[in-house]
Amino acid sequence: MKKRRLAGRAVNPVGLGCMNLSHAYGHPPSPEDGVKLLHKAVELGVDHFDSAALYGFGSNEELVGPALKTVRDDILLVSKCGMQGIDGKRVIDGRPEALRKTLDDSLKRLQTDRIDLWYLHRYDKLNNVPIEDSVGEMARLVDTGKVGAIGLSEVSAQTLRKAHKVHPIAAVQSEYSLWSRNAEIAVIDACAELGASFVAFSPVARGFLTDVDLDPENFAEKDIRRGMPRFNTPHFEQNQKLLPAFREIAKEADCSPAQLAIAWTLHKAPHIHAIPGTTSIGHLEENISADAITLSPEIISKAEVLINQNTVSGPRYPASTQAEIDTEEFDQTA
């Protein structure tokens, strides 16, 4: 892989989103299988691992940290604060005192003395915590040596610029794929302008842009996609109509649909990284190799014309979740 800069380091552009190993998509793998996948990722050259205090309400950090301890100095270890599990409930809290406690707890779970890139998982606008207050505290924690660099997740370009005035922001992480293009409105360009990286999570559209035929009726009870409009009637049936043509484009590009989706993301700008997640070693190998794929302008154009904000049916989040998100959004209520 040709490396790209992130948080002051050169890392491979396809990292690993670790959420799936503990959280969000129903039944996670056993800890033993999770460790095997993490070790395989290292073997394949992954050097960017993304966790969060929220994932598995701490159990993801407890898995990731010890599993990667032997290669700790060779990887970019990433986590997030500002959203976590408290008494069995997901809580957003960007107050300085909450962030301090989250950091100490995360360091213990990760079994490390520093987090290389620490994101504010959510800008706490629901509790009216100014972004300057949250980032100001994160900056003070950088000064302690416990944090290497600061990032933000799911924020607008305006919020990014406010935060950047307080302390340099190394990266913004947001959902970005062919079917979630809202980052193109402003924040990808704002990152380039400010010298920040952009990290795309869910680059394969939460499993949709693959060769796996999803059936939402079979999603596990706690699978977060059950609450996402694009996976519900009538939107899912409309979106399914896009897949045959997308898979044909992948064949034309001589790659899998997932590889096409990830490679497309990386082709959009040199400061973009992708962090697909998976519980499958086969899919891990497939995802990591996407960086080696060169897409022609014709392939890129075909994919973008087929799948974009005007052809995808349904918003990416339900209204209750969208209220917590600070990103710019297309007017997409269909």
Query: What does the pLDDT read at residue 332?
Result: 58
Q: What is the CATH number of the domain that holds 276?
A: 3.20.20.100
In a domain, 313, yes or no: no
pLDDT band at 333 (very low <50, low <70, confident <90, very high): very low
Residues with Cβ < 8 Å from 67, sequence gap 6 or more?
A: 34, 35, 38, 39
Q: Are 174 and 185 in contact (CB under 8 A)?
A: no
Q: Which domain holds residue 77?
A: 4-207+258-293
pTM over 0.75: yes
Does the pLDDT of residue 334 top 50, yes or no?
no
In a domain, 29, yes or no: yes
Does the pLDDT of residue 23 top 90, yes or no?
no
144-171 per-position pLDDT tens digit: 999 999 999 999 999 999 999 999 999 9
Query: What does the pLDDT read at residue 1?
Result: 58
Mean per-residue pLDDT, 29-52: 98
In a domain, 167, yes or no: yes
In a domain, 75, yes or no: yes
User: Which strand (E) or helix (H) includes residue 308?
Assistant: none
Query: What does the pLDDT read at residue 313?
Result: 97
Q: What's the mean pLDDT when you consider all of the chain?
A: 96
Cα separation, 227 vs 215, in Å, equals 14
In a domain, 306, yes or no: no
Structural domain count, the chain: 1
Name the 3-class secondary structure at 44.
coil
Cα separation, 147 vs 141, in Å, equals 6
In a domain, 235, yes or no: no
Q: Are 239 and 313 in contact (CB under 8 A)?
A: yes
Instruction: Single out the catalytic residue among 55, 123, 176, 317.
Output: 55
In a domain, 214, yes or no: no
In a domain, 85, yes or no: yes
Give alpha helix (H) positions in 144-208.
157-166, 187-194
252-270 per-position pLDDT tens digit: 999 999 999 999 999 999 9
Angle at 120 between CA 119 and CA 125, to 5 degrees: 160
Q: Catalytic site residue 317?
A: no
201-215 per-position pLDDT tens digit: 999 999 999 999 999
Q: Give the distance from CA 254 to its chain's centroid.
A: 26
